[in-house]
Amino acid sequence: MTIRERAAEFSRVREGKELRAGSHIWRYSLAGQGETVLLLPGGAGIGIGWLDLVLALYPRYRTIAVDYPTTASSFDELADGVLAVLGAENVQRMHVVGQSAGGMLAEVLSRRIPDRIRTMALSGAGLYGSEDVPRLERKLVAIQSAPWEETRTATAKALRAAWQDAEEADFWIEQVDAAYRADGALGLINSYRALIGIARRSEQLMRERPRQGPVLLLKADDDPLITEAHTQRLIGMHPGCEIRTFPTGGHSLLIGRTQDYIAAVAEFLAQHGEPATWR
């Protein structure tokens, strides 16, 4: 199937829901049944980015793919909202899959509910540190001061570079730009505010006791956004984690190496899931 056909199939199998949590409106998609897999997207915050993994896991797993509200400006606010979604759906235990900033959110969430997370699978992920704060602050100022159309064009160019001109990059850039058209600059501004906050907090996060349990780290050698320092912070918090490295794939292996990514995550879930799931 083409990417647009797969997107149509995703729309068919998903159930869209909406929830108010505090001052934020959360939108999310449910699909399938069985063990719950919570899907945390990257900084663009669009749950449709998980469509290929959702279809691969459907109907064996119950997936929850969240959209981040553009009004949330910190990872604590995002974690609060995710917990509200889990509460609304009566989820007691879950696997967590995070991409990019979604991996950082998984770390924050795991400090809140360590005993409820079965496994974590993280890709294109690391942990920003104090060295990233000046760069992120400059980018935030640039976004706030530049014309919004100019920022959208620059963002599309940056996404294409991050995704290494993947075959289906045009579709994904369209999805991100559609969200930006709908919500304006606020979502991107608050995304950078959240990243600055987590970068300033990284040392504290590393001192806190991480959850104990299986962790899979998927990375590409040509990821232009995650540095070795970012990766090592993540590994330092999970010294026994399983690491799979691909020579190519860019920042998003789900986009750049779709089948390899799906195979790795599905194998990991099968290895660490409840036996009843696979009867």
**pLDDT surpassing 70 at residue 3:** yes
Give the H or E element holding residue 67.
Answer: strand 62-67
Give pLDDT, residue 277: 40
In tens, the pLDDT along 173-231 reads 999 999 988 889 999 999 999 999 999 999 999 999 888 999 999 999 999 999 999 99
Q: State which amino acid sits at residue 261.
A: Y
Q: Any residues with CB less than 8 A from the CB of 147 and at least 6 apart, and which?
A: none
Residue 223 belongs to domain with CATH number: 3.40.50.1820
Cα dihedral across residues 153, 140, 220, 60: positive or negative = negative
pTM for the whole structure: 0.96
Lowest-confidence pick of 8-17, 167-176, 229-238? 167-176
Above pLDDT 70, what percent of the chain?
A: 98
**pLDDT surpassing 60 at residue 278:** no
Domain hosting 54: range is: 3-278
Q: For all residues of the chain together, what is the average pLDDT?
A: 95
Domain count, the chain: 1
In tens, the pLDDT along 41-91 reads 999 999 999 999 999 999 999 999 999 999 999 999 999 999 999 999 999
CB 244 within 8 A of CB 125: no
